[in-house]
Amino acid sequence: MDEFYSPQQRELQTQHDTVRLADRLQQIIVEQHINEQHQAFIESRDFFFLTTIDHRGYPTCSYKGGHPGLVRVIGPQELAFPNYDGNGMFLSLGNINGNPKIGLLFIDFETPHRLRLHGDARIQADDPLLADYAGAESIVRVALSEIFINCPRYIHKMSRVASSQYVPEAGKDTPQPQWKRIDAVQDVLPACDKQIAENLGGTITPEQYGEMVHRGEG
């Protein structure tokens, strides 16, 4: 924990007279192990935000959604979550393969609360947890190094309306994604997706897809 703050962070803390405060907060809110309260909160969430670092040094922030229990606490310093079908760019997973350092942010907008975690991730294509996540293509396991609670005062209070219909469920057909109907991608879709446009009523233009997204139909 000696290198928790960078020289640049220390410089700003010095300018604003918060060095002692920053050190005290590190001592009282930064933990290395998930406690029971953290576990209950993490496993109650149906989404989180994932940050990874790309080959250029840019952080990539992604939203990951599923059902409650999307992220499972394996042990005091280990988490696991599924990777579902995406857009084929593999930004997050590709970044993990290049740099395992990641961040996770869990937020409750109904009872404002948030939890941040740092760790090293690895992708498991044959993980036994695959059997517990319908539709998952792989499992990401995270060896945690830091867990800390943030003040919730700037979190806007919002109500949850509904789960996404696209989240895979055991014993239920998952709707096919509308974006795979876009005419500009038909010739480059993987073989398994070639029939989607026909199944959904034909191809659409990027503009039509944009209109669908704005109507909440994407």
- Cα pseudo-dihedral 91, 89, 69, 109, rounded to 10: 70
* Amino acid identity at 81: F
Of 77, 144, 158, which Cα lies nearest the Cα of 104?
A: 144
The rounded distance, in Å, linking the Cα atoms of 31 and 79 is 15
What phi-psi label fits residue 88: left (phi over 0), alpha (psi between -120 and 50 degrees) or beta? left
Task: Report the top-level CATH class of 32-150.
Answer: mainly beta
Rounded to an integer, the average pLDDT of 6-33 is 96
Give the burial string for 37-69 (b: 16+ CB within 10 Å, else e): ebeebbeebbbbebbbbeeeeeeeeeebebeee
Handedness of CA 173, 177, 178, 181 (dihedral sign): negative
Check pLDDT > 80 for residue 33.
yes
pLDDT tens, residue by residue, 138-192: 999 999 999 999 889 999 999 999 999 999 999 999 999 999 999 999 999 999 9
| Average pLDDT in the chain | 95
Whether residue 50 contacts residue 95, with contact meaning beta carbons closer than 8 Å, is answered with no
Residue ranges of the alpha helices (H) in the chain? 7-15, 19-29, 36-44, 91-98, 196-199, 206-214
Rounded to an integer, the average pLDDT of 78-97 is 97
Per-residue pLDDT band for 217 (boundaries 50, 70, 90) equals confident
Domain ranges in the chain are: 32-150, 178-214
Backbone angles phi, psi at 107, to 5 degrees: -130, 140
Check pLDDT > 70 for residue 1.
no
Handedness of CA 208, 213, 214, 216 (dihedral sign): positive
Rounded to an integer, the average pLDDT of 109-116 is 96
Specify the long-range contacts of residues 157-163, CB closer than 8 Å, at least 24 apart: 157/109, 157/110, 157/112, 158/109, 158/110, 159/109, 159/110, 160/109, 160/110, 163/46, 163/67
* pLDDT for residue 2: 58
The rounded distance, in Å, linking the Cα atoms of 218 and 216 is 6
